[in-house]
Amino acid sequence: MLSKSIRSPLAAIVVAATAALGGAGCGGEDPPDVARGKELFTQRCGACHILQNAGTKGVQGPNLDLAFQQSIQDGLGRSTIAGVVAQQIDLPQGGQMPANIVNGQDARDVAEYVASAIGKPAEGGAAGGPSGTAEADAKNVVSIPTDPGGQLAYQVKTATAKAGKVTLSSKNDATIPHNIAIKGDGEGPVVQGGKVSEVSDTLKAGTYEFYCSVPGHEQAGMKGTLKVR
C-alpha cells in the first residue's frame, strides 16, 4: 500500500522520482513486465488502493488515479511516476504499507504497471461492472463467474437459489487467483486460468453472502448477495 505522501506537490514528486531513478541499477535488469505488474498489484495492493484499471477498490491507501491526476495534467511523464511508485515501495512512509510487499523485479513490474494504468479505464472486463442476477439451474447450481479481465469482481452482484443443497460455481478465466465461498458455510478451492471453484452446502431460506476468500479480495469488493427461497 503506497504512502499518502504521494499526494505531494509536483515539485516534491519530481525530486522523489529523480532520487528513485538515480538509485536504480543500470545493468542486468529485465525490462518491466506490465502484465505481471498488474497481477501483483491486484493481489497484494488492491485491498488498500483504488485503481480503476485494476478494478481495485481499497480504502486504506490513496486513490492512485486521483493522487497523480494533477501531476499528469502538469506534464509529469509516466516513467517519472514509475520512479515515484518504486521509491514508495522501497521506502514505505507513514507506517501503513508493509515493508517488502514486493521486491526486486516484482517491484519494478508493479511500479511500471501503476504508472501506465493511472487514469485509464479497465480493459477486458464487463462494461459497467457487475450487473444482473445469477439464478440456479434445475440442479440448484448457481454460476457466478469472475471478471474475465482480472478485476476483483464477480460478473454478478446477486444470486438466487432454492432452499436445500445449493452449489455455487465460479469459473475464473483470469490469471489472478480467486475462489467462491459462502460466508460461514464453506469455501471452494482457489483457481485461475479457466478452472472452476465450487462450494456446496445445505441452506435454509434466507440471505447469505458469497465472496472470494483470497486475502484482500472481499475487502476490495469481491462479494455479493445470495438469496435462498
What are the tens digits of pLDDT across the range 138-177? 999 999 999 887 778 899 999 999 999 999 999 999 888 9
Tell the residue number behind the cell numbers 462450494, with chain if given: 199
Residue 127 belongs to some domain of the structure = no
Residues 148 and 224 in one domain: yes
Residues 27 and 97 in one domain: yes
Domain boundary among 117, 145, 177: 117
Residues 142 and 112 in one domain: no
The model's confidence at residue 3, banded by pLDDT at 50, 70 and 90, is low
| pLDDT value at residue 109 | 93
- Full domain range(s) for residue 54: 4-117
Residues 67 and 137 in one domain: no
33-89 pLDDT tens trace? 888 888 888 878 887 888 888 878 777 778 898 888 888 888 888 989 999 999 988
Model confidence at 15: pLDDT above 50: no
Residues 11 and 104 in one domain: yes
CATH of the domain at 200: 2.60.40.420
Residue 212 belongs to some domain of the structure = yes
The model's confidence at residue 2, banded by pLDDT at 50, 70 and 90, is low
Residues 99 and 201 in one domain: no
| pLDDT value at residue 124 | 53
The total of structural domains in the chain comes to 2
| pLDDT value at residue 123 | 64
